[in-house]
Structure formats: structure tokens, C-alpha cells
Structure 1
Amino acid sequence: MHGFRPDLARWRQLPSPAWLARLLDGVPVPAAPGGAWRLFEVGCDSLAAYQSGHIPGAGYIDTNRLERQPLWNKVSDDALLALLLENGVRHDTTVILYGRSSLAAARAAHLMLYAGVADVRLLDGGFDGWLRAGHALEQGAGPLPQAVASFGAAFPARPDFLIDTAQARELLRQPDGALVSIRTWQEHAGVTSGYSYIDARGDIPGARWGRAGNDGDVHSMSEYQHADGTMKPSAEISALWRQAGIEPGQRTAFYCGTGWRASLAFFYAWLMDWERISVYDGGWCEWSRVNPPASCSGSRP
């Protein structure tokens, strides 16, 4: 499987930079999009960086169009649908996403799956991987989006991929439920909130620690990614979850501070064909405002 990961059930959804370069060059590739496809760079307030150099043919989506203050939850369904339509995305459009931060791209990937886009792909290694491979960039505003009039299917098609605080609380009461904290140990233990705009420290009582990355860095997912930003072997990630009592057959909801790290954990679980998964959109940011904060007990595993 040239340019893909053989250890993933949904291997088509995590292409390599080499595969994308061949696709852009018009060279026949395995698992090529079957119809219309779009390539997007996803960032947060980084339009200037995108214009200074991006993967050829890529459009730009800002996460401020996907989530809103003060809790950084998903925008309304109407706003999400409008964003997809103006960028030419229907339910049957293949969408390939990358970012200077893989977390920003994962946030978009999760919400597109929630919307019902059937073929969402995340570039393994992201923008940095493209540069390391020596591929060219283009500068400027990028292609003008070709809007479409209709999504072509029910919207959202997968509302089960997103849960709110009431549903998170209910999940904690379910014998087969797992609410999974994708946060650093210091966040989970209540040493720090991790964010300048979140005052409360601690974590959700009953949540299972699914790990994230380096203490002091809410952009790190070093437990899930190699140093070059590519996904670690699925068996390694599965073992990490199993150690915390997180199994494929459970009803599993991932959360973090606001949603980016949880979205990457969700996407990797989806790649591994976990079926009963979601993101708790509010995360610690919302939970800590409506529930008493609590710290975990015990020492770091």
C-alpha cells in the first residue's frame, strides 16, 4: 500500500506526503479519490503563514470558523454547513486536511465526520512532513473556493460523534462507558489547568487518563505521535489505552481542554475502526465551569 499505513483498518484516511505529491502531479495512485476532492490547510489565525507558503492547490480553513468563544465549542450546525458549502464540500467530496498543527487539522477532520463527509483524510506528518520530504510550496491566496448549493445528504449525518456535558455525565454512569481525558499528567493531576483562560485545575471525577504529550505543552501529543508528527503504531496506542481500561467495545468519549487533542485521539481511534466513539466538545473548559473541580488520586502510572 504505497504511501499508506498497513496497520490501520481505515488506511486510506492517513496518506503520506509522497502519496499526496503524486496525486497533485496527476500520477495514478492507489486509493485515489473516486470523484471530486478538496485539499485544505487548517490553522488558527494563521492566514498569513498559509499565504507565505502552502501545499499547492490547498485552500485555507481557520478554526475560528469551526469553534467559538468562550468555551471553544463547535459552531452551530447552520454555521458549519455554510462553511462546508462555501468551500465546495458535499457529503461525497473527498477532503484531505493538513496543518502546521496536526491538532487544528484533526479538529476539522472530526467535525467533517460529524457533518457526514464520508471520505476525510489527514496528512500523516502534516505541513512539516511535506517540507521534510522536499516537496514544493506555492505562495499567495490559493485557489478560489467553488461553492456548492447542497450538502446532498442529511446534516449532520453522525451526531453521535459529538456529546455535550449532560451526555458526558450520563456516560460516566454507564457500565460500558469510558470518558477519556486526553491531557497531560500535570493537567490530569491538577497541577495546572494547562490554559491561560481556564482557571480551574483538576479533572473530571471518574474519567480515565488517556494521556496526551509533554507536561507544560498542550500542543504536544507525543504519546500518540513520533517526534516527526506521524502517528505511532496502532498497536502501541491500543496498548496505552488498554493499560487505562479503555477498550474498543466501550462507549468512548475523548476530551481535553477544549477539543483539539481529543479530536486527534478520536481520529486515530476511527482509523483503527473503533465504532462507539465521540468527542466531548465542552471538555475541561466547560465541565470546570459547571461542576466542582477535582483532582485524580494516586501517582502517575
Structure 2
Amino acid sequence: MPIPADPLVSTAWLAEHLDAPDVRIVDGSWHMPAAQRDPKAEYDRVHIPGAVFFDIDEIADETSDLPHMLPSPIKFAARVKKLGLGDGSRIVVYDTSGILPAARVWWEFRAMGHEDVVVLDGGLPKWIAEGRPVDDLVVAPQERHFTPRFQADIVRSLDQMKRNLETGREQVVDARAAGRFTGRDPEPRAGLRGGHIPGSRNIPLSALLAPDGTMLPAEKLAEVFEAAGVDVARPVAATCGSGITASVVALALARLGRPRAAVYDGSWTEWGGRGDAPVATGEA
């Protein structure tokens, strides 16, 4: 029962494999603080049967002043082990947005060396709209050993992004809304400059999704990247506000057969908050 090569699976696929012994379901929901929503409380009220909750803000680097940065491999392994997510697990991640933080969880597992992970296309909204089962039962997973194998090639740091300004080895794709990218609209986090990393291209999250919240098919995604001036055959580093929406860009590239796109973990929260990082404004 192999998981398809596509990094997304349909609600129909998950419904068919809901009780498969090696499938583990993860709710990776997260919201901006301004939304005043508690994703864990929402999970407690309704979730796909058997799903465990992955707390993006808690399974993070507690020593960083930046939001939800990747934790150490040791911390990550310890946390997901308790969630019953380990070696041999086929992990399906969803969220209450459709496709957003689930992509971040997908990328984090892959950054820690676990490749058998996919995102539920359309997430919980599509699942519920189709009348598929949900419950509010407490899930008590059996611990499962997780062996972390950190994949540095799909993670980017501030220093690496600065060096890329000189080398131009990677194309930088920014997933923030166009107004934030150009510097026309203010950032939702206080204290950040407006604009973008010089030389980057803008592909807002909305350009990657269909009206029903599912991801566009591969042929449409290819058109979006081409229209933005991005050559998908060349290396890409994705960025956004805090490393979550950037993961959707990485997910889209994986759907196009380019699974090793990197994510700049600190993203604009780090870059835009530092005086030593150059900023460009206006269109790409």
C-alpha cells in the first residue's frame, strides 16, 4: 500500500486508508496570533479519527527569539516519539486552513530525514465538507522510536541567504502577499521593515491554490512558477513571514518533481528585523 509519489493525498485516499496499521494522521494546525484562535482547543473539539496534534510553536527551538524555528533533532525526535510518529510510520498531515501549516509540518519531518510524509489536499475543511468522519475522542498513541537524520540541504539560515546574494546559486521565492513583498502594506509583526530580499521573486500562497483550498495540479503550478520568472529546474530557497507559507512553495515544487527545495527558516521575521540585511522594495 504505497503512498503516491505526489506529496499530497486526496481525502478519498485517506478515507480508504484510515485504518491502515502503518498510517499515522497528524493535525498540524496553526494560526497567526492576531486570529485569536487556539488550534489545540479546536483539535480537542473535532479532529480526524486517530489524529494527534503537532504543536508547531512547542516543537520548536526554545532558545531562539524567532517564532517556531526548527528544534534540534534530539528535541524533535523526543516530541514526535511521544506522538507515536516514528520509523516506519506513513504520516499524513492536515490542518484547518486547507493547506498551510500542514506544509510546514511536512517540511519539518523531511528536514529531520523522514520522507514518508504527505499533506492532505484540502485539509480538514474539505474532509468535513464531504461528510467524512470526525470525532472528539482523546488519542493515546503508543510511543514509537524516531531516528532523526538532519537534512541540511533543505534548510537555509540567515548567513546562507546572505551568501546567496553574492553567488546567485539559488532562486529565492517569497510566498508573502504582493503588498508585503513590495513594501506597500505593513507587516503583521511589529518592528519589521517592508519589502523583500533583493533579487527574490514573489509567488503568493493564493497563486498556488485552487478556489476550493486544494493545491493546483502540476501543470497549473508550472505555469505559476514560469509566470513569476522562476526556473523550476534550478535550485530554489523559499521564504515568507516566518517559514510556514514558504513550506507551501516547497510542497508545490515537490509536486512538480523538485522535492529538495529549501526553506529559509527565519524568513522575513529574521531578515526584515535586522539592520544588516539588505532590503528591496517594489516589484521583483
TM-score tier (shorter): 0.7 to 0.9
- Aligned-pair Cα RMSD in Å: 2.2
Alpha-carbon distance in 2 for matches of 1:140, 1:204 = 45
**After superposition, where does 1:109-258 map in structure 2 within 5 Å?**
109-141=106-138, 143-148=139-144, 150-152=145-147, 155-156=149-150, 158-209=151-202, 211-212=203-204, 221-258=205-242
Q: Any stretches of 5+ residues in structure 2 without a counterpart? A: 31-37
Alignment partners' CA distance in 2, 1:78 and 1:192: 39
Task: Render the CA deviation track for 1:47-95: whole Å, top value 9, x for unaligned.
Answer: 1111111111111111112335631222222221211221222243110
Distance (Å, rounded) in 2 between the aligned partners of 1:165 and 1:133 = 42
* Residue pair 1:165, 1:287 contacting (<8 A) in 2 also: yes
CA 1:43–1:171 in structure 2 vs 1: closer, same or farther (change >3 Å)? same
Q: Distance in 1 between matches of 2:209 and 2:191?
A: 26
Q: Structure 1 residues 86 and 243, CA, compared in 2 at 3 Å: closer, same or farther? A: same
Name the TM-score, length of structure 2 as normaliser: 0.87
In 2, distance between residues paired with 1:74 and 1:281? Answer: 7
Pick the aligned partner of 1:42 from 5, 22, 28: 28
Percent identity over the alignment? 27
Q: Which amino acid aligns with 2:174?
A: S
* 2:14 corresponds to 1:20: yes
Alpha-carbon separation, structure 2, partners of 1:203 and 1:254: 12
Moved more, 271-280 or 286-295: 286-295
1:294–1:103 distance in 2 versus 1, CA, 3 Å:
same
Q: State the shift of 1:155 in Å.
A: 2.0
Q: Deviations over 1:146-169 (max 9, x none)?
A: 112x324x522x221111011111
For structure 1, the residue ranges without an aligned partner over 5 or more in a row are 27-32, 213-220
How many residues are matched? 270
SS at match of 1:122: strand
Q: Classify 1:178/1:91 alpha carbon distance in 2 versus 1 (closer, same or farther; 3 Å).
A: farther
Instruction: Report the alpha carbon displacement of residue 229 of structure 1 after superposing the two structures with TM.
Output: 1.0
List 4+ stretches of structure 1 deviating above 6 A. Answer: none
What is the TM-score normalised by the length of structure 1?
A: 0.82
